[in-house]
Structure 1
Amino acid sequence: MLMLTSPAFAANPVAKKVSAERTYKKSPADAAIGKKCLTCHNKEDDPGIYGEWKRSTHAVKNVDCYDCHKAKEGDKAAFKHEGAFIHVVVTPKTCANCHEAEVAQQQRSHHAKAGNILASIDNLLGEVIGGPAAVTVGCVQCHGSTVEVDANGRPTPQTWPNTGIGRINPDGSLGSCSSCHARHNFSAAQARTPDTCGKCHLGPDHPQLEIYNESKHGILYRANIKEMNLNSKKWVVGDDYTAAPTCATCHMSATREQKVTHDVGERISWTLRPAISTKLNMVRLSNGDEFDQPEGKPLPAVGDDVKGAKVTQILTWKQRRDKMKNVCVTCHSANTVAGHYKQFDDLVDLYNDKYAKPIAAVMKELEDKGYLTREPMDAKIKWTWFEIWHHEGRRARHGAAMMGPDYAWWHGIYEVSQHTYFKWIPELKEVVRKKDGNEDFANALLDKHFKPISGHDWFFNGMGKDAIEKVRKGYEDRYGKGALK
């Protein structure tokens, strides 16, 4: 193979930092086609594409248009263009030609599986209640479309453009590296910023960006962004920067003890997404895939046959948490980290035990006894329960995880409480009254599932003198005797 130098090599200001031995090697024929690409996609005709590529590490390392868009005749998404077969949809499989380890991590990750939303209640709401056009410009722009190609090998306008993190590609690979490393610069620094993650991780049901911005971490990042050294090649927290963490710092980036990973779930010990949170063990397989096994369910052993492959590694939820703690202790004491996790766990347990588990149990009994159908979203009470766990409950849990107090309380547990007591419970009674003509079964369900939980005492018995006096004392200690009327 002959090493050829990119025409942008000398013009790129960082070219001198890269040795010739580290540039991309290619055949003379491929180099000629790549050079031909640049004669059309140049700074005059495509200044955005060309300009971003020219500033990129790809240009420095002699990677041009054809190296990424090259296809073979007969490939599902291939078509002939200016004498060469190319594809429009550059996939992780393409990127793996140079970034094999990163793609292997990404392909097994939660990100790659984001397209599974296509079989969930979320997508049902979009497709049926909203409409397919809303899904196209909304849901799948983050989760990823199933990219379809026409008879000419070009992606269809209904499914393209799309850079969803779990995009289902024509070559069978999952995801889009350009979700985080935007074309055609593919900057690592850009992918390290919280705003990149905020394209998808924001809004009423998963406002991680808003929570981050509210947290001390986000405040410190914005105040000290010039000290973040985002362009560092290795970007190790504690060595290259200490001012603040970003999303990438905690979930992906290197520490002094850990290598960088593109498996974004590796350091997550709770799942905060479903109606009821569980701690998660991770099972990795010989076929390169992995899956989460909830705490309490039997774990296979390394070497066991599971899902058509052999188990190669088990990461318990405690080991996953230790990986995250290893990031935290770069800047915090072990006691501080332990205290954070205690507060976080307590909030998740509160949400689970006081609200999610009893509501879920009542909803199941309503279905089992024929008060509700088993069809999704066909009764008002189902919408209310959906929003309690999918919106308010998620916000509360993520607020606790990322130290965003406003989201943990006012946008979280406060609204979970308000909607449980003053929307869901009245709707429960209405559902029962509609079938029975009375509320007896509803009251029996509340007595069975809610009354034994001490946190609901105030709802059944009032605040009580002791509780009110405790609040009064605390208020008067701060603001003076008689301050609370």
Structure 2
Amino acid sequence: MNSGLLKKYTLVLSVTLLTLLLLLLPQTVNADPKPLVMKPFNQLSEQSKQCAACHKDKNPSIYAQWGRSKHYGANVGCYECHQASPEDADAISHEGFDIAVIVSPKDCGNCHSQEVKEFDASHHAKAGQIIGSLDNFLAEVVEGSLMLNGASPAAVNGCWQCHGSEVKVLENGDLDPATWPNTGIGRINPDGSIGACSACHQRHEFDMVQARRPEACGKCHLGPDHPQKEIYEESKHGINFFAHVDQMNLGSAKWIVGEDYDAAPTCATCHMSATRELPVTHDVGNRISWTLRPAVSEKIDAKDKAMGKETKSWEARRADMQNVCESCHTKSMVDNFYIQFDSLVELYNDKFARPGRDLMAVLKQENMLTETGFDEEIEWTWFYLWHHEGRRARHGAAMQAPDYVQWHGLYEVAERFYIEMVPQFIEVVEVAEQNGNHEGAERARAVLTEVLARPEHAWFSGNEPEEVKRARKEAQEAFKARYLNQNN
């Protein structure tokens, strides 16, 4: 090899090695953050140009988030969303413009009318109607004491941040700090609209990737009474999502399951997103066939039917959810899953929920409980049974989390019913009888006797047929002989 060719070869080799070395070095070493490159403001409205020019310095993070958004790409700026009429309840004068701090669904509906219409039909839109619920009584009265503008801080910082509050405007035009900030999904806005799009689409970027991830729903759907986030994480769906999130194609514009991704579904996949046959919907109950929230579950359309309202049937809703399932699973597997799920809900309803409701009803009817809620032990016991443990079991079955069905669910339901509720019921009746309510005590005992006489409670009442006991004992002995007595 001549000397010129050798020098050329050496130079190429040196450059190649240097390039490889630079690629292998950690990218954060001595690396300054890249500045946000924004396009010129020449296509923005004059109002939004002025807003952005100021907020770029005063609120750089908000400015940067907006700069990454599709709104920015579509020349939708601050003023297009925050503009207000002077007569609006929450309108303020700011730098020569009439604006509102709150961007409500009414505002979003100027461009996203279909999404707002679907949301208005959803159960999410009713979430702010928590004021008369047992949950709110706990937060306002039982937990609350010191008030913030007449509201319990427990409700302000807790319940209302998920359910939403009525946002009030003070006499001086400021938003009442007892009700704002708030991004609860059922927020009642000063302009009369209901909801908060930013509950799911975090402002000011409104990133669809963030809204499609399970964490977006987990802000509210977690905890002892509705642990959907934890249930999802235990399920095979959740395990697959976190293992293969890089294959989820979360940034796809259409994001159709079975076409754009197949690693796993998220909450959005099942409840909202498009399939090959179904469009996107912002009515999160549009594919739900059972309501798992109340003490006794019923089909999702039962209440509307009872009121004579036209509504989408539970069968049609289930067919749509099954359409999502069949993007990944065979029809026979989906059908069998629903048989399993239905059987769990019916077991909970018939063995524990309806009997528990009947026991509490007769105590009320016979004036054995005070009018005040949660001042007697059995009221707490019943609340835990359906509101916490019963919901966990039902949601666990709906989303395929066996530990939530069993140990966090029906096991605790059963312990609560047999070991706490029944003895407490007997004690309440005995006290009432000692106070002279003999006829009421007799009627109450008759209800308990009828409940415990049912075959599903025979193990507890001692009325189990001998052949049933014998068969179970033989099965247990066979298990021991097969697995426990082997000399391995």
**Deviation by residue 1:116-162 (Cα, 9 ceiling, x = unmatched):** 11121110111000111110000000000100112343311111100
Shift of 1:397: 0.3
Return the alpha-carbon distance in structure 1 between the equivalents of residues 54 and 268 of structure 2.
Answer: 36
Quickly say closer, same or farther: Cα 1:431–1:180, change in 2 above 3 A.
same
Task: Answer yes or no: is the 8 Å Cα contact 1:24–1:62 preserved in 2.
Answer: no
**Structure-1-length-normalised TM-score:** 0.86
Q: Partner residue of 2:24? A: none
Task: Answer yes or no: is the 8 Å Cα contact 1:228–1:243 preserved in 2.
Answer: yes
Return the alpha-carbon distance in structure 2 between the equivalents of residues 336 and 134 of structure 1.
Answer: 44
Structural RMSD (CA): 2.3
Q: Partner residue of 2:50? A: 36
**Deviation by residue 1:209-259 (Cα, 9 ceiling, x = unmatched):** 000000000000000101111111111111110000000000000000000
Alignment counterpart, residue 111 of structure 1, candidates 124, 127, 134: 124
Shift of 1:374: 4.4
Q: Partner residue of 2:113? A: 100
Return the alpha-carbon distance in structure 2 between the equivalents of residues 189 and 80 of structure 1.
Answer: 35
Shift of 1:371: 2.0
Shift of 1:482: 10
- Matched AA of 1:271: T
Return the alpha-carbon distance in structure 1 between the equivalents of residues 178 and 58 of structure 2.
Answer: 27
Which runs of 5 or more structure 1 residues have no equivalent in the other structure? 1-9, 16-22, 283-291, 301-305
Return the alpha-carbon distance in structure 2 between the equivalents of residues 159 and 418 of structure 1.
Answer: 39
Q: Partner residue of 2:462? A: 461
Is residue 134 of structure 2 the alignment partner of residue 121 of structure 1? yes
Return the alpha-carbon distance in structure 2 between the equivalents of residues 455 and 124 of structure 1.
Answer: 34
Is residue 350 of structure 2 the alignment partner of residue 339 of structure 1? no
Is residue 172 of structure 2 the alignment partner of residue 159 of structure 1? no
Return the alpha-carbon distance in structure 2 between the equivalents of residues 410 and 357 of structure 1.
Answer: 21
Q: Partner residue of 1:20? A: none
**Deviation by residue 1:32-62 (Cα, 9 ceiling, x = unmatched):** 11111111100x3312101111011111110
Task: Answer yes or no: is the 8 Å Cα contact 2:429–2:445 preserved in 1.
Answer: no
Return the alpha-carbon distance in structure 1 between the equivalents of residues 482 and 327 of structure 2.
Answer: 38
Task: Answer yes or no: is the 8 Å Cα contact 1:80–1:86 preserved in 2.
Answer: yes
Return the alpha-carbon distance in structure 2 between the equivalents of residues 427 and 411 of structure 1.
Answer: 22
Return the alpha-carbon distance in structure 1 between the equivalents of residues 205 and 448 of structure 2.
Answer: 58
Q: Partner residue of 1:361? A: 358
Quickly say closer, same or farther: Cα 1:111–1:475, change in 2 above 3 A.
farther
3-state DSSP of counterpart to 1:85:
strand
Which runs of 5 or more structure 2 residues have no equivalent in the other structure? 1-35, 145-151
Q: Partner residue of 1:269? A: 289
- 1:35-54 matched pairs, under 5 angstroms: 35-42=49-56, 44-54=57-67
3-state DSSP of counterpart to 1:80:
strand
**Deviation by residue 1:141-186 (Cα, 9 ceiling, x = unmatched):** 0000100112343311111100000000001111100000001100
Quickly say closer, same or farther: Cα 1:241–1:129, change in 2 above 3 A.
same
Is residue 452 of structure 2 the alignment partner of residue 450 of structure 1? yes
Task: Answer yes or no: is the 8 Å Cα contact 2:358–2:447 preserved in 1.
Answer: no
Is residue 85 of structure 2 the alignment partner of residue 65 of structure 1? no
Quickly say closer, same or farther: Cα 1:474–1:338, change in 2 above 3 A.
farther
- 1:244-323 matched pairs, under 5 angstroms: 244-281=264-301, 292-293=303-304, 297=306, 300=308, 311=310, 314-323=311-320
Q: After alignment, is 435-444 or 32-41 more displaced?
A: 435-444
Alignment counterpart, residue 88 of structure 1, candidates 101, 121, 125: 101
Shift of 1:376: 2.5
- 1:187-226 matched pairs, under 5 angstroms: 187-226=207-246
Is residue 206 of structure 2 the alignment partner of residue 186 of structure 1? yes
3-state DSSP of counterpart to 2:368:
coil
- Matched AA of 2:398: A
Return the alpha-carbon distance in structure 1 between the equivalents of residues 256 and 476 of structure 2.
Answer: 47
**Structure-2-length-normalised TM-score:** 0.85
Return the alpha-carbon distance in structure 2 between the equivalents of residues 339 and 230 of structure 1.
Answer: 30
Shift of 1:323: 0.6
Task: Answer yes or no: is the 8 Å Cα contact 1:181–1:188 preserved in 2.
Answer: yes
Alignment counterpart, residue 476 of structure 2, candidates 468, 471, 475: 471
CA radius of gyration, larger in = 2
Q: Partner residue of 1:7? A: none
Return the alpha-carbon distance in structure 2 between the equivalents of residues 51 and 475 of structure 1.
Answer: 66
Return the alpha-carbon distance in structure 2 between the equivalents of residues 200 and 80 of structure 1.
Answer: 34
| Higher helix proportion (structure 1 or 2) | 2
Shift of 1:471: 3.1
Return the alpha-carbon distance in structure 2 between the equivalents of residues 262 and 145 of structure 1.
Answer: 21
- 1:398-409 matched pairs, under 5 angstroms: 398-409=395-406
Return the alpha-carbon distance in structure 2 between the equivalents of residues 24 and 275 of structure 1.
Answer: 58
Counting aligned pairs with the same residue, the percent is 51
